Amino acid sequence: MNKPSMKSSKRPRGATALAAVAGVAAAAVVLSVAELIGAFFTTRATPLIALGSTFIDFTPLWMKNFAVETFGTNDKAALFVGMAVTILLLACVLGIVAYRKWGLGVAGVLLMGAVIVGSVVTRAGVKPVDAIPSLIGTISGLVVLRFLITRLWRMQEWPDRAADLAAKEPERPATTRRGFFAAAGITAAASAVAATGGRMLSSARSNVAAARESLQLPAPAKAAAAVPAGVQSKVPGVVPWLTPNKDFYRIDTALSVPEINVQDWELRIHGMVEQEVRLTFQDLLDAKLIESHVSLTCVSNPVGGNLAGNAKWLGMPIRDALKMARPKAGADMVLSTSIDGFSASTPLEVLQDGRDAMLAIAMNGEALPLEHGYPVRMVVPGLYGFVSATKWVVDLEVTRFADNKAYWTQRGWSERGPIKTMARIDVPKSFAKVPAGKVAIGGTAWAQTRGITKVEVQIDSGPWTEAVLSDEASLITWRQWSLDWDATPGPHYLKVRATDGSGEVQTDKRADPVPDGASGWQSVMVTVE
């Protein structure tokens, strides 16, 4: 009569919610224990980072684009929030399942463990031993789940089940709701401490940031061409012509910035070459370095967007490195790969022509910031970053487009990515309210390797008016512009378009960033008062 029943009619009130709490506490233990022990293993392989990367890999393309468009460079924060919510929900379900059917709960936790282990060991450059933290985490989580769920089973407020269990094991006392919450609370607090400790340990273990600070940069064999005095638009609010490192846009798939010791860094050049080459960081320091201002642009940049920047780079010409390896006839592509598995396909020809394509070691006079590719990244004028600007680069494979596909190409983006001519209005901002009279319009424009020869602005449906171009530093840097406008009260639309050095007027044909870059004219609505 008094048998405990799993039927919902007999289930004590509130049990489901408490079981969910037990599930969340157990999941916290799985992740935090794994994170803490993971601090002693490969940093990129800690479970949270690996899970996040796997999450990204399985995110459909449309959702990824939506995330980048909606959250911009906060897309990683958005990812972690999304992941946290997913894990929280799964943990609740696991707790409830374990309470009702322990065996199923165990299976669920093991499955969760398997997913974590799977995402850890499939990361690039990760060894099988890196699975150990996740395994220990999973087992700890199971132990805690068993402990908490048993407390629920023995809850004295729910006499049916508790009495039955007490009859079986009379020496074990019944538990109380308060006791349960105390246990769950202690578990959660311990998890938080373990996770924080793990994160702190991970960063303390690497002193790459300090090594970067003290790196002595060599002088270039060929210094950057002098920058003309008038490169900056006179209009206040137009972005600085030279983007400070701290303001430089950042786009990459790395959830934790790779931390590479220069002593460990090596670049392998192989594939369709006469001679496989390995370059150390010292080899780069000893090479004939060039210095050059180059504007980078992201293919994901929407029309009018700010995923573009301009910096002074110092590095070894990639053609010099390729010369050592001597590419074989028939090769037409270099697949560059970063330490964390990102890859880019760059036409071999582009890396061998005269442009300042380089293995860069410095940005605006200091060693590359960690998040911009320390210690070595590629910079290739004229190509979007996804097919050229590999950060934390460790491998160059000389190959053919027909034989190899890069990271984003495998995900629906183009295999090649020459930068499209683009003009941008920085001032006034979209939806700005400006006083009637003289209004300064200004912005920047780019068409790396072709240069900008004209920028025109159209007010409403009026004629296209030529803007004043700021000085041109080179064909591979962006060029600023300004225009004075006699603004009359009312709403107005400002449009902008550029003409590049080949004589081509920027197309008004709207294209999404996927697969090879956005196009169209930016239009800004302003209200003149």
Ligand X SMILES: Nc1nc2c(c(=O)[nH]1)N[C@H]1C(S)=C(S)[C@@H](COP(=O)(O)O)O[C@H]1N2
Binding site for ligand X (CB under 6 A): 248-254, 296, 298, 338, 340, 342, 372, 385-386, 389-392
In angstroms, what is the minimal distance from the CB of 431 to ligand X? 27
Pick between residue 120 and residue 251 the one whose CB is nearest to Mo ion: 251
The residue type found at 397 is: E
385 counts as binding Mo ion under rule CB under 5 A: yes
SS3 category, 123: coil
Q: How many whole angstroms separate alpha carbon 253 and alpha carbon 94?
A: 30
In angstroms, what is the minimal distance from the CB of 256 to Mo ion? 19
Class of residue 440 by CB neighbours under 10 A (exposed 0-12, middle 13-18, buried 19+): middle
Pick between residue 369 and residue 428 the one whose CB is nearest to ligand X: 369
In angstroms, what is the minimal distance from the CB of 246 to ligand X? 12
Pick between residue 67 and residue 251 the one whose CB is nearest to Mo ion: 251
Q: How many whole angstroms separate alpha carbon 120 and alpha carbon 48?
A: 9
In angstroms, what is the minimal distance from the CB of 517 to Mo ion? 9
Pick between residue 63 and residue 402 the one whose CB is nearest to ligand X: 63
In angstroms, what is the minimal distance from the CB of 15 to Mo ion? 50
Nearest to 525 by CA among 468, 459, 457: 459
Q: How many whole angstroms separate alpha carbon 168 and alpha carbon 381?
A: 76
Q: Is the dihedral of CA 299, 305, 307, 308 positive or negative?
A: positive
Pick between residue 138 and residue 338 the one whose CB is nearest to ligand X: 338
Backbone angles phi, psi at 483, to 5 degrees: -155, 135
Nearest to 482 by CA among 451, 446, 457, 464: 457
In angstroms, what is the minimal distance from the CB of 506 to ligand X? 20
Pick between residue 253 and residue 453 the one whose CB is nearest to Mo ion: 253
Pairing label, strands 490-500, 479-487: unpaired
Pick between residue 230 and residue 341 the one whose CB is nearest to Mo ion: 341
Who's near 461: CB < 8 A, 6+ residues apart?
none
In angstroms, what is the minimal distance from the CB of 100 to ligand X? 44
Pick between residue 249 and residue 478 the one whose CB is nearest to ligand X: 249
Class of residue 179 by CB neighbours under 10 A (exposed 0-12, middle 13-18, buried 19+): middle
The interface region with Mo ion, picked from 38-46, 90-98, 157-165, 380-388 by CB under 5 A, is: 380-388
The separation between the first and the last C-alpha atoms of the chain, rounded to the nearest angstrom, is 82
Who's near 92: CB < 8 A, 6+ residues apart?
20, 23, 24
Binding to Mo ion (CB under 5 A) within 495-514 occurs at none
In angstroms, what is the minimal distance from the CB of 338 to ligand X? 3
Q: How many whole angstroms separate alpha carbon 382 and alpha carbon 296?
A: 8
Q: Indicate which of ligand X, Mo ion, none lies near residue 241 (CB less than 5 to 8 Å, by partner kind).
A: none
Structural element, H or E, at residue 53: helix 47-58
Q: What is the DSSP string of 424-443?
A: EEEESPTT-EE-SEEEEEEE
Pick between residue 298 and residue 452 the one whose CB is nearest to Mo ion: 298
41 counts as binding Mo ion under rule CB under 5 A: no
In angstroms, what is the minimal distance from the CB of 255 to Mo ion? 16
Pairing label, strands 522-528, 433-434: parallel
Q: Indicate which of Mo ion, ligand X, none lies near residue 392 (CB less than 5 to 8 Å, by partner kind).
A: ligand X
Q: How many whole angstroms separate alpha carbon 155 and alpha carbon 336?
A: 60
Task: Tell me the CA distances in angstroms from 462 to 304, 432, 459, 494, 495, one per residue in order.
Answer: 21, 20, 5, 10, 10
Taking CB under 5 A as the criterion, the residue among 298, 325, 427, 452 binding Mo ion is: 298
The residue type found at 163 is: A
Binding to Mo ion (CB under 5 A) within 250-269 occurs at 251
281 counts as binding Mo ion under rule CB under 5 A: no
In angstroms, what is the minimal distance from the CB of 299 to Mo ion? 5
Q: Indicate which of Mo ion, ligand X, none lies near residue 465 (CB less than 5 to 8 Å, by partner kind).
A: none
Residue count of the chain, please give it: 529
Site track 195-234 with Mo ion (rule: CB under 5 A), x = hit:
----------------------------------------
Backbone angles phi, psi at 389, to 5 degrees: -100, 35
CA 129 to chain centre: 26
Q: Indicate which of Mo ion, ligand X, none lies near residue 260 (CB less than 5 to 8 Å, by partner kind).
A: none
Q: Indicate which of Mo ion, ligand X, none lies near residue 250 (CB less than 5 to 8 Å, by partner kind).
A: ligand X
- β-pair partners for 483: 441
Site track 333-352 with Mo ion (rule: CB under 5 A), x = hit:
--------------------
Binding to Mo ion (CB under 5 A) within 455-484 occurs at none
Cβ atoms of residues 247 and 361 within 8 Å: no
In angstroms, what is the minimal distance from the CB of 7 to ligand X? 52
The interface region with Mo ion, picked from 211-219, 296-304, 323-331, 370-378 by CB under 5 A, is: 296-304
Binding residues for Mo ion, total number by CB under 5 A: 5
Q: Site residues (CB under 5 A) for Mo ion?
A: 251, 298-299, 385-386
